[in-house]
Chain A
C-alpha cells in the first residue's frame, strides 16, 4: 500500500489508525478535510487528529468505514454495535457526517 493512498487517524489518547484513504472518505467531514483546497496540514500529511474521540470509538468508526465499502459493493452484512458505546459512537458519527 502506497503512503499516498492511506491516511492516519489519531485518537484522543494518541493511538494511530492507518487506513485506506478511500475508506476514510466515507466520512464527509474527513473527505472535506483531506480534499479542501489550500495546503492544510491535514491534506499535506494525510493525518487527522481527533482530540475528542477515544480510541475505542475511533476503532469502531474505522471498522464502519470498511463495512460501508463492502456494503456498497454488494456484501450486505449486519454492522454490530455494542449497546454500551452507542451514544458515544453516535455523537462521533454525527460529527464525522457518517
Chain B
C-alpha cells in the first residue's frame, strides 16, 4: 500500500521540472538529482543556470591544465588539481598581502608621524595619496 505514495524527492523533481525556467544557482544540488531535472531544460533556462551557478575555476583553468598535462605527458586526479589550484590562489593572495604590508612599512619608515604626502618615497603610495586628497 505504502509504495504507491509518491516520494517527496519525486514530487520535488516534478515541481522543479515544471518550473525549470525559474532555476537559478544549482551549485549546491546533487548531480544525480540534477540529472533528472536539467534534461528538461530548453536552451534559455540552461544558459540562465550556467550564468547563475558560481564556478570557482572556470573553463580557462581546465583548458590550461589539460594542455599542460598533454605537454608533460602526466595525469592527475581532479581532486589533486583542485587542491593545487586552491593552494596557488591562496599563495597569490598571501603574496599580495605581504606586498601591501611591505609598502606600508616602507611608507611608515620614510615618513615620520604626522607628515603629509610630500616626502613619500614610494611612487605608488604617493599616487594613491594624491588621488585620495584630490577626490
* A interface with B by C-beta (< 8 Å): 61, 64, 68, 71-72, 79, 81, 83-84, 86-87, 89-91, 93-94, 96, 98
CB of B91 to closest CB in A, whole Å: 32
Interface residues on B, range: 20 to 34
Task: Report whether B11 and A87 are in contact in the complex, using a CB–CB cutoff of 8 Å.
Answer: no
Expressed in whole angstroms, the Cα–Cα distance for A52 and B98 within the complex equals: 37
Given A87-B26, A91-B29, A93-B7, A72 and B2 contact (CB-CB distance below 8 Å): yes
Question: In the complex the two chains form, what is the Cα distance from A96 to B26 in whole Å?
Answer: 20
Partner of A93, one of B1, B8, B22, B29: B8
* Given A79-B11, A81-B11, A83-B22, A90 contacting B16 (CB threshold 8 A): yes
- B interface list, Cβ under 8 A from A: 1-2, 4-9, 11-13, 15-16, 18-19, 22-23, 26, 28-30, 33
**By DSSP majority rule, is chain A's interface helix, strand, loop, or mixed?**
helix
Other 19 A-B pairs with CB < 8 A, given A90-B13, A91-B29? A64-B8, A64-B11, A71-B5, A72-B5, A79-B11, A81-B15, A83-B19, A87-B12, A87-B26, A90-B9, A90-B16, A91-B28, A93-B7, A93-B8, A94-B9, A94-B30, A94-B33, A98-B7, A98-B9
In the bound complex, residues from chain A placing their C-beta under 8 Å from that of B13 are 90
- Give Cα A79 to B12, complex, Å: 10
User: Is there an interface contact between A90 and B29, defined as CB atoms closer than 8 Å?
Assistant: yes
User: In the complex, what distance in Å separates the CA atom of A68 from the CA atom of B9?
Assistant: 13
> With A90-B33, A91-B28 in contact, do A81 and B12 touch (Cβ < 8 Å)?
yes
- Complex CA distance for A94 and B32, rounded to whole angstroms: 10
- Complex formed: what's the CA distance from A64 to B6 in Å? 10
Query: Which residues of the partner chain B approach A98 to less than 8 Å between Cβ atoms?
Result: 7-9
Return A53 CB to nearest CB of chain B, in Å: 13
